Amino acid sequence: MKKIMVVNGPNLNLLGQKDPTLYGCFTLDDLNQKILDFADKNELEVKLFQSNYEGEIVEELHKARGNFDGIIINPAALTHNSYVLRSAIESIQVPCLEVHISNVHKGDDFRKQDVIGPACVGVITGLGWLGYLLALEYFLKL
């Protein structure tokens, strides 16, 4: 059974409350349930993790080394400036797929810079919660 870690970054605990016109009305619990349902139907083992703290995310990524077949990460605003997170991803030797609920290429110019994506096998952006399931499907078929 493949083991996948799903990491959600800062402020994703506020899904459903934070700008529903951009992020939708679903909560982090709703998203996690969709992920768990997909994993159960497809015989994937999934670990869910969310933190508002960059260092905690780095520590969790370090734990993935040698223990997981893949990582789905939504670094949220850390996407644009966290070279620490990028370095952690490059160091652990576990394939990572970056996922964003909204299209990060729309809106403010600073949101168009992605320092995490180059360390990942791919980036899924703008497809809402479905992006997470597509990422799980990728690891399932890998």
Clarify whether 23 is annotated catalytic: yes
Residue 73 near residue 12 (C-beta atoms within 8 A): no
Clarify whether 53 is annotated catalytic: no
The helix/strand count (H/E) of the chain reads as 5, 5
In what order do the strands lie in the sheet containing 44-50? 44-50, 2-8, 70-74, 96-100, 122-125
Interhelix angle 28-41/130-141, rounded to 10 degrees, is 30
Task: Indicate which residue of 100, 105, 132, 138 is catalytic.
Answer: 100
- The residues annotated as belonging to the active site are 23, 100
